[in-house]
Amino acid sequence: MKKIYPLSALLLLAGCLTWTGCSEDESLDLEIHDPGNFFEPADNDESPEANLRRTFQQKHNSFLLFNDTLQHRFNGLDINGDSTFWTELLALDYVVGQTAYPSNGYTYNNMTSVEDKANAVTYLEENILPHISARLMPYSWYLCGQINYRQSTTAAPSHPYAATGQRCIVVAFSQLKKLKTDAQRKQFTSRILTAILPQLASNRIEAFDAFYQVSEGYHDRTTTDNVTEARHVVRYYGFLDYVKNIWGHCATPTKEQDLTMYCTYSMTYTDEQIEQMYADYPNVLKKWRIFKQVMTEIGFVF
């Protein structure tokens, strides 16, 4: 006759066997996954792309990706006998320590040829990386053909030049073959840096206390709807320009908009041009100098 044991007794027995299986001098072996393993090619991969990625990581201490699939492994068969897989995609809006998966609005069109990938790496190294010191270097770079971003399922996609998260910067290179002149390459570089810079600055927001202090108490406040007067008012308090709030009225920027606007202007105008444009607004010039100093201190090279 078969004996039937209560489930609780079986669990207790299993626990006892597990405990007695280790002596006092032994320690449990913990299975720890190195996230770096998902950002680098397999050890036995000697393809040109894999070698390109290894060389980049050795030179810059930052991983290089050409695909947003970090993991894709066989997970066994389901109840119907069909194969199942575990797939982890790069989530650009991932935040370290979060307990839930983010809603990722980004998708990507990848480059297909090794030549295109190598050319993208060369452009990155010659035109983008000279502006980003080791202190600002991200955990990884993902070079793709096109970035597609949707704010909602019903919104039309936009195609930014670059996008930045906490552990990765994505740069789109579909236009690279169209760049024929130095002026075109300079403009392309500027647009990439303009897309990257606000997030790099926001990642180190604590360094901008003195910058925000200049306009303390005046962020996100409605002003007159007379555009000329609104522009004068916001500049008086240290803002580069007014914005339209959710009600469509002229307003001072939020703190995020304030920093983003200074980042954008720094990629568009020289110090001399800013000094001329805002000669009558000392608070703007004060914030500009603080902004440039802080950006230099955290590792950005203008």
At 12 the pLDDT is 35
User: Phi/psi of residue 80, each to 5°?
Assistant: -95, 0
pLDDT at 252 over 50: yes
**For the whole model, what pTM was predicted?**
0.81
∠ CA 97-100-105, nearest 5°, is: 105
Name the DSSP letter for residue 105. Answer: -
Instruction: Name the one residue in this structure whose structure tokens are 């955290």.
Output: 298
The answer to whether the CB of 129 falls within 8 A of the CB of 156 is: no
At 79 the pLDDT is 79
When comparing pLDDT for 34 and 15, which is higher? 34
Provide the pLDDT confidence category of residue 23 given band limits of 50, 70 and 90: very low
The answer to whether the CB of 190 falls within 8 A of the CB of 265 is: no
Q: Rounded distance, CA 249 to CA 233, Å?
A: 14
List 89's β-bridge partners, or say none.
69
Q: Rounded distance, CA 114 to CA 52, Å?
A: 9
pLDDT in tens, 92-123: 876 665 544 555 689 999 999 999 999 999 99
- Count of CB atoms within 10 A of residue 177's CB? 9
The dihedral built from the CA positions of residue 69, 75, 80 and 81, taken in this order, carries a sign that is: positive
Closest CA to 122 of 205, 69, 179, 79: 179
Name the DSSP letter for residue 142. Answer: E
pLDDT at 19 over 70: no
pLDDT at 24 over 50: no
At 60 the pLDDT is 97
At 166 the pLDDT is 78
At 78 the pLDDT is 75
When comparing pLDDT for 202 and 31, which is higher? 202
At 95 the pLDDT is 60
Mean pLDDT of the chain: 86
pLDDT in tens, 256-274: 999 999 999 999 999 999 9
- How many angstroms separate the Cα of 9 from the Cα of each of 2, 15, 16, 270? 16, 10, 11, 76
pLDDT in tens, 198-217: 999 998 999 999 999 999 99
- Pairing state between β 106-109 and 146-149: antiparallel
At 74 the pLDDT is 66
Please give the share of the chain, as a percent, with pLDDT higher than 70: 81
The answer to whether the CB of 136 falls within 8 A of the CB of 166 is: no
Provide the pLDDT confidence category of residue 86 given band limits of 50, 70 and 90: low
User: Phi/psi of residue 257, each to 5°?
Assistant: -65, -35
- Pairing state between β 140-144 and 63-65: parallel
pLDDT at 10 over 50: no
List 73's β-bridge partners, or say none.
86
